[in-house]
């Protein structure tokens, strides 16, 4: 059953995060260390040191790694509040791809990998990347087109392939790599990014600029990894990926909901004070309706997130729920950001407020973690299969 109000514990934590974002993070939004390909490493460390001091670093991970072991519903509440600043998720160490990789490592990694990689990742000592998407003719929206190859050899594996749109590749300490293992199928490996055979070819120019390291093109050219670099089970890479992708897809929704709410709040404040044609902007029906539609979209997006989070907390993979939430939220927050730009007029397309940056970053969300069209296709297939099944 979904509760429509947070528990007292979650409400108190939300207020702590809200104060932290307002007092420690938003004042740094004008910091010159916010570069064209994401915040610089020293800004990340500065932000995370503040979150550590506040007891808010990586609240989603297990207590043994310094976290608060938040449920998915708890994450929905906290991550939205952190997302109110584009720097907030980075500060709390709940940003992609590290947050999703932490979840995956907690779920399927052995003790050695958890000690070597998860512990420092949760502590903010290192960053990571997840290498799955490939340039044509490799895997993109269709993961079955996986072109990267792995073969067994004495003492381990050799991996060859090329990936792109790899968030955070530049500066990452390790990579989780999806490759087609000869004789077994899609398989996950974990490798030190300093290994011979890994090259970050370039960082791609992109609309969004909130991820440290940007989005990179990575080549694996005769990368040799030991046998214990296997993450999970041979041939089970896609199944393991679902453990990561549904929750990580949803946490994107949570964070972007916070950013869209920030854009709306800025537009609302402007509409209350700016006057035109003898009244404030908000008193004009055209503007007032945009603000009302923003409120509706934000509310529906939050309900979709909480519903999917509840399904994950119940123990399922929530594949349909996460696809549904991804489409609802990605499109709703995009509309909110777009209307907020319109309400602000000329200011909305400048750096005078945070809204233009939010708008630019949010636009990418309709594409990454599965474009809306792919999630609709997935949902349609589920509906058709269910309709064709004999009645129970």
**Domain end: 202, 231, 260, which one?**
231
What is the rounded average pLDDT of the residues 233-247?
92
pLDDT higher than 80, residue 392? no
What confidence tens digit (pLDDT) does each residue in 18-37 have?
999 999 999 999 999 998 88
| Residue 41 forms part of a structural domain | yes
What confidence tens digit (pLDDT) does each residue in 355-389 have?
999 999 999 999 989 999 999 999 999 999 999 98
Residue span of the structural domain in which 152 resides: 128-231
pLDDT at 1: 57
**In terms of pLDDT, which residue wins out, 392 or 68?**
68
Identify whether residues 381 and 285 lie together within a single domain.
Answer: yes
Identify whether residues 147 and 268 lie together within a single domain.
Answer: no
Domain count, the chain: 3
CATH number at residue 89: 1.10.540.10
| Residue 295 forms part of a structural domain | yes
Identify whether residues 265 and 201 lie together within a single domain.
Answer: no
Identify whether residues 349 and 376 lie together within a single domain.
Answer: yes
What is the rounded average pLDDT of the residues 273-279?
96
**Domain end: 177, 199, 231, which one?**
231
Identify whether residues 62 and 178 lie together within a single domain.
Answer: no
| Residue 278 forms part of a structural domain | yes
Q: What pTM does this model have?
A: 0.95
| Residue 100 forms part of a structural domain | no
pLDDT higher than 80, residue 93? yes
The β-bridge relationship of strands 149-153 and 174-181 is: parallel
| Residue 112 forms part of a structural domain | no
Lookup: tokens for 234: 């041979």
| Residue 20 forms part of a structural domain | yes
| Residue 103 forms part of a structural domain | no
- What percent of the chain has pLDDT above 90? 94
**Domain end: 200, 216, 231, which one?**
231
What is the rounded average pLDDT of the residues 105-128?
97
CB 113 within 8 A of CB 127: no
């Amino acid at each position: 059953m979904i509760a429509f109000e947070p528990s007292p514990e979650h409400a108190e934590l939300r207020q702590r995060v809200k104060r932290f974002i307002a007092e420690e993070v938003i004042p740094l939004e004008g910091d010159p260390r916010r570069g064209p390909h994401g915040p610089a490493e020293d800004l990340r460390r500065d932000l995370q040191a503040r979150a550590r001091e506040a007891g808010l670093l990586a609240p989603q991970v297990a207590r043994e790694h310094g976290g608060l072991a938040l449920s998915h519903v708890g994450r929905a509440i906290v991550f939205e509040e952190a997302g109110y600043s584009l720097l907030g998720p980075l500060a709390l160490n709940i940003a992609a791809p590290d947050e999703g990789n932490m979840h995956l490592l907690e779920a399927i990694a052995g003790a050695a990998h958890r000690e070597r990689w998860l512990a420092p990742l949760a502590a903010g000592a290192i960053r990571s990347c997840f290498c799955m998407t490939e340039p044509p003719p490799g895997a993109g929206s269709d993961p079955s087109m996986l072109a990267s190859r792995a073969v067994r050899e004495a003492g381990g594996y050799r991996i060859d392939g090329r990936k792109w749109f790899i968030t955070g590749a530049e500066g990452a300490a390790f990579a989780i790599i999806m490759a087609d293992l000869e004789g077994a199928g899609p398989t996950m490996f974990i490798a030190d990014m300093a290994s011979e055979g890994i090259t970050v070819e370039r960082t791609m120019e992109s609309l969004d600029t909130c991820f440290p390291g940007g989005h990179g093109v990575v080549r694996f050219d005769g990368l040799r990894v030991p046998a214990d670099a296997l993450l999970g089970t041979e041939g089970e890479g896609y199944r393991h990926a679902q453990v990561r992708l549904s929750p990580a897809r949803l946490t994107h929704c949570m964070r972007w909901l916070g950013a869209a709410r920030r854009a709306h709040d800025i537009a609302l404040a402007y509409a209350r004070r700016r006057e035109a044609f003898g009244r404030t902007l908000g008193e004009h029906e055209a503007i007032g309706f945009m603000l009302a539609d923003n409120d509706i979209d934000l509310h529906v997006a939050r309900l979709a997130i909480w519903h999917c989070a509840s399904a994950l907390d119940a123990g399922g993979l929530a594949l349909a729920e996460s696809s549904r939430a991804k489409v609802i939220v990605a499109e709703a927050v995009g509309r909110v950001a777009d209307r907020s730009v319109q309400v602000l007029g000329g200011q909305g397309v400048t750096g005078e407020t945070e809204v233009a940056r939010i708008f630019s970053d949010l636009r990418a969300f309709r594409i990454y973690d599965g474009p809306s069209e792919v999630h609709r296709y997935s949902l349609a297939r589920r509906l058709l299969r269910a309709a064709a099944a004999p009645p129970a």
